[in-house]
Amino acid sequence: MTKRSAALYLGIIGILLFGTVAWYTYSFASQPPSEAVFFDGQRAYEDVQTQVDFGPRIPGLEGHTRIQEWLKPELETAGWQVEIQTSQALGHPIENLVARRSADPPQIILGAHYDTRMFADSDPDPSQHTNFVPGANDGASGVAVLLELARSLPEETVPIWLVFFDAEDNGRIEGWDWILGSREFVKNNPVQPRAVVIVDMIGDADLNIYKEWNSNPDLTDEIWEVAKSLGHEDKFIPDYKHSMLDDHTPFLEVGIPAIDIIDFDYPYWHTVQDTPDKVSAESLQTVGETLHAWIVQQSEQP
């Protein structure tokens, strides 16, 4: 081999090596980061089952204590600081769990109630009316979505608080009222987030979420547009249907934009049939990934 042909041969080898390195560099750069985490509806469904297994999450009962003891370390493992805010309403102890990742005031609050109703007084069987509600959809589904968001949201978001409200679900019972926990939270936390999103009864296997009349319309439209962009327009239905008194109400009363994401067309509401088999991982995935995408979108804005 002459010097000239050897040089040509080495030049070709060099070009091939350079091309190979460049191709691998481009390929790896174009892949999503290995640490990227996405919302997992199946894991959220397992969290629904875990909560129901605790039994009734009624203030003062063992299940109520057990869900707190489970939630706090789950959130802390995911990198959130957890505070249990205690107060009283109508003579009842109120314990709201607040999770945050920094000391900054929240720009977004995501909320769900973790308690369950003490009486299944909407059950078609009157003999069941004094039994407790298992709360798979009415309570556990919203908590599961917030917990999975805690695990999957990127750290580089706008400041977010995840709030797990106590004592939401015992209205029309002597000595109680609705939304006691969220009223106490608003009274005791003078923050001004730009958006509050409540998720309640969003695990129904036959999911149909309509726009809610009392919710902030601009915020509603924002989230429904995100759902549509993800192909969920059949679940986030762009029509108004129900007017709800829910954990978004105390925020609206003090002028904070808030919405209630709720499927109130749930036939097992406040019955003993509100069990995990009425909930689906697919429905939890639909709501969770919609909120995940919306939060990322909000965090990319100035």
Please, what is the end-to-end C-alpha distance for the chain in angstroms? 63
Residues 84 and 18 in one domain: no
Answer yes or no: do 3 and 49 share one domain.
Answer: no
Q: CA distances (Å), 39 to each of 136, 152, 249, in order? A: 19, 6, 27
Q: What percent of the chain has pLDDT over 90?
A: 86
pLDDT tens digit string along 231-275? 999 999 999 999 999 999 999 999 999 999 999 999 999 999 999
Residues 21 and 48 both lie in one domain: no
93 & 189 share domain: yes
Query: Are 84 and 1 part of one and the same domain?
Result: no
Q: Check the CA dihedral 265-271-276-277 and report its sign.
A: negative
Nearest-angstrom CA–CA distance, 57 and 139 = 9
Asked if 181 and 118 touch (Cβ cutoff 8 Å), the reply is: no
Containing structural domain, residue 246: 37-300
Shared domain for 98 and 229, answered yes or no, is: yes
- What are the pLDDT digits (tens) for 81-134? 999 999 999 999 999 999 999 999 999 999 999 999 999 999 999 999 999 999
Is the per-residue pLDDT at 142 higher than 80? Answer: yes
Residues 64 and 16 grouped into a single domain: no
- CATH code of 184's domain: 3.40.630.10
pLDDT tens per residue across span 147-202: 999 999 999 999 999 999 999 999 999 999 999 999 999 999 999 999 999 999 99
Same domain as 194, residue 127: yes
| Statement to judge: residues 119 and 12 lie in one domain | no
Whether the predicted model's global pTM rises above the 0.95 cut: no
| 81-89 and 92-100 strand pairing | antiparallel
Q: State the total domains in the chain.
A: 2
Q: Are 63 and 24 in the same domain? A: no
**Same domain? 15 vs 79:** no
